[in-house]
Each structure stands twice: as structure tokens, then as C-alpha cells.
């Protein structure tokens, strides 16, 4: 019988993390490549070897906590781009999660159950 408690979701993310490397291409404090006034509050990058809906690697926010597993995801919707994305959080402290949520206005944070 299929499990619907979300545990498979987190386990599958852990499999991706074990198999591929996180690349930070927009370090904390750097400007967005298109919108120079938008500054990244936390290291931002992608997971090599993966593909998101936009065709690029799966987006990852990497915080300052010791990271062993992904600890949350942010679901975003952009009605202008007609785009829905899931961004993975790795080792993010509570304050970093708040900063990320401020960055993604209208996003939804889903934290991994402890």
C-alpha cells in the first residue's frame, strides 16, 4: 500500500543529495543577475545532475547549520511567469528560513517532520 505521510518525499530528496553535488552560484549577499536590487539573503544554487520544471537543476538554499539532510522546501508560484517551483532548503536556521520566505513573497514553507 502507498504511504501518504510524506516520508518517501524526504527520503527521495536525501537520495538526490547523496548522489549529486550542491553548487552555490549565487552566494549570500550577491545580486540577482537580472534584478540588481534583489540580494540573496542565504547561499543559493542548484543540485547537479537534476532537473526542475524550468529545465535547470533543482534549486537549493544552503544555510549555515550543519547540513546532513534537506530540512524544508519552499513552494513558489509566479503568476507572471506562469511558473510553479519547489526550492529545497539545506541546513537552514530559523532566521534563514524567514529570510528565504521574505525573498519568495507568497511562497509556502514545508518543514521536514522531526
State the 10-residue block means of pLDDT for the chain, 114 residues long: 79 94 97 94 97 92 87 93 92 96 92 90
Select from 47, 59, 70 the least CA-distant residue to 103: 59
To the question of pTM greater than 0.85 for the whole model, the response is yes
Select from 16, 38, 14, 15 the least CA-distant residue to 26: 38
- Domain spans in the chain, listed from the N-terminal domain onward: 7-111
**Residue 78: per-residue pLDDT:** 86
**Residue 2: per-residue pLDDT:** 65
Domain 7-111: give its CATH superfamily. Answer: Inorganic pyrophosphatase (3.90.80.10)
Amino acid at each position: 500500500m502507498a504511504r501518504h505521510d510524506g516520508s518517501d518525499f524526504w527520503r527521495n530528496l536525501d537520495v538526490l543529495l547523496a548522489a549529486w553535488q550542491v553548487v552555490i552560484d549565487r552566494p549570500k549577499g550577491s545580486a540577482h543577475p537580472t534584478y540588481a536590487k534583489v540580494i540573496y539573503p542565504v547561499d543559493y544554487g542548484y543540485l547537479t545532475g537534476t532537473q526542475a520544471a524550468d529545465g535547470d537543476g533543482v534549486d537549493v538554499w544552503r544555510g549555515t547549520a550543519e547540513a546532513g539532510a534537506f530540512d524544508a522546501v519552499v513552494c513558489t508560484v509566479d503568476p507572471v511567469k506562469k511558473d510553479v517551483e519547489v526550492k529545497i532548503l539545506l541546513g537552514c536556521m530559523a532566521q534563514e528560513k524567514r529570510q528565504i520566505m521574505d525573498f519568495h513573497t507568497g511562497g509556502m514553507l514545508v518543514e521536514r517532520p522531526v
